[in-house]
């Protein structure tokens, strides 16, 4: 039995797509239909590239999204408030010079983060229909084992876009969940796997809770799992996968919460697969967590066996070793080899050479 391969969703967009996405973000896009047509082409090319390099469970590469979570501001009402306050990772605050490599690839980076200033409802039907249609069109030319579409979780939206309307965080989270249900259900009803992007379950620790007791952060995670389960109540667990990470950037990460401290809570999510960082130097050792943790028998693990923040091309034998570590723990039939995170979670930040990310040098590995 061959172990399947996948990735985390976002892949580098072509330069002309980046330019048009930035123009749309700035309110300066001259022709919406031109962008839509180009994104459709980019999705087809992206899917073809994934097949060429041996990806079994593919995505659209998030070609039409400027970032994996800010896109929702255009699909939800209620986000016309002032810009949310800037945020700072605790590890980069300790070692500020390490943030310098995170430079924009096209000037200046545009990433609007409006705060919530009104009632939240879903208005993204046309946009998600375009995402689905682009995938269906691309599937005419490829033959994957399965296809997934990522979507921002209520928790990650709340993590980055401040609430200035709802009376408390819980009310804000449930409003986001009720609105995003439409997108999540649409993806499932179209026949695609739903990937729930939930970096808040780990990354929020060193973003907003760096100096708080662990139990305070665990309560934060538990609340978000409850809200997430509410949002996906209509979708069978085996048609969903959850992705969590500690922040997809090259930094010290010495403030990351250990996986062991949150894994019991994460496993309460009603999903069929769990995608997580397992390759980078801060978390590569945490396969040992699963020696002591009982993973539900119907859950698949998708460990990242390729780091998404480095231009090193890992040796195939190292990747094989990482896969085998997990296969020995839960069985090879319950492991899919993945990547730590997306290679282009924001179109304006480039950490990895696109040629490396897309596997054009795979034959030299």
| Any domain includes 8 | no
| Any domain includes 214 | yes
Task: Provide the token pair at 56.
Answer: 């079994």
Other C-beta atoms within 10 Å of 90: how many? 19
Instruction: Choose among 266, 275, 184, 263: nearest CA to 225.
Output: 266
| Any domain includes 177 | yes
| Any domain includes 2 | no
pLDDT value at residue 108: 46
Instruction: Give 286's DSSP letter.
Output: G
| Any domain includes 137 | yes
Task: Tell me how many domains the chain contains.
Answer: 1
Structural domain containing residue 92: 15-364
| Any domain includes 4 | no
| Any domain includes 5 | no
- Dihedral (Cα; 336, 337, 343, 345), 10-degree rounding: 30
Report the distance separating Cα 336 and Cα 143, nearest Å.
18
Q: Of 20-29, 259-268, 344-353, give the range with the top mean pLDDT.
A: 259-268
pLDDT digits (tens, 9 = 90+) for 54-68: 999 999 999 999 999
pLDDT digits (tens, 9 = 90+) for 313-350: 999 999 999 999 999 999 999 999 999 999 999 988 88
Q: What separation, in Å, do the N-terminal and C-terminal C-alpha atoms of the chain show?
A: 24
CATH number of the domain enclosing 152:
3.20.20.210
Report the distance separating Cα 232 and Cα 251, nearest Å.
33
Instruction: Please give the share of the chain, as a percent, with pLDDT higher than 70.
Output: 94
Instruction: Choose among 306, 312, 305, 304: nearest CA to 353.
Output: 312
| Any domain includes 57 | yes
Model confidence at 11: pLDDT above 90 = yes
Q: Which residue do the tokens 């609105």 mark?
A: 179
């Amino acid at each position: 039995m061959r172990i399947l391969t996948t990735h985390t969703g976002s892949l580098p967009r072509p330069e002309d797509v980046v330019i048009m996405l930035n123009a749309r973000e700035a309110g300066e896009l001259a022709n919406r239909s031109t962008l839509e047509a180009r994104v459709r082409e980019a999705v087809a090319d992206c899917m073809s590239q994934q097949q060429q390099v041996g990806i079994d469970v593919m995505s659209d590469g998030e070609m039409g999204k400027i970032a994996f979570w800010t896109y929702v501001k255009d699909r939800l009402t209620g986000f016309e408030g002032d810009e949310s306050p800037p945020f700072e990772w605790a590890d980069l605050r300790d070692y500020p010079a390490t943030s310098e490599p995170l430079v924009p690839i096209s000037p200046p980076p545009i990433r609007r983060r409006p705060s919530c200033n009104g009632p939240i409802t879903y208005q993204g039907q046309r946009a998600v229909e375009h995402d689905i249609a682009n995938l269906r069109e691309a599937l005419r030319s490829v033959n994957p084992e399965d296809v997934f579409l990522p979507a921002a979780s209520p928790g990650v939206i709340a993590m980055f876009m401040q609430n200035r309307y709802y009376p408390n965080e819980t009310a804000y989270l449930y409003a986001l969940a009720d609105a995003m249900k439409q997108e999540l259900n649409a993806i499932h009803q179209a026949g695609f796997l739903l990937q729930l992007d939930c970096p808040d379950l780990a990354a929020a620790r060193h973003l907003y809770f760096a100096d708080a007791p662990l139990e305070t952060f665990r309560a934060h995670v538990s609340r978000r799992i409850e809200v997430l389960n509410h949002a996906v109540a209509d979708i069978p667990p085996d048609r969903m996968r959850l992705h969590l990470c500690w922040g997809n950037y090259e930094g010290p990460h010495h403030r990351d919460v250990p996986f062991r401290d949150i894994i019991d809570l994460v496993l309460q999510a009603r999903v069929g697969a769990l995608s997580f960082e397992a390759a980078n130097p801060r978390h590569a050792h945490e396969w040992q967590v699963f020696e002591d943790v009982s993973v539900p028998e119907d859950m698949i693990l998708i460990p990242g066996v390729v780091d998404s923040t480095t231009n090193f091309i890992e040796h195939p034998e190292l990747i094989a070793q990482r896969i085998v570590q997990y296969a020995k723990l839960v069985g090879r039939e319950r492991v899919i080899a993945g990547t730590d995170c997306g290679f282009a979670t924001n179109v304006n930040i480039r950490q990895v050479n696109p040629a490396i990310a897309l596997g054009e040098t795979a034959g030299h590995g």
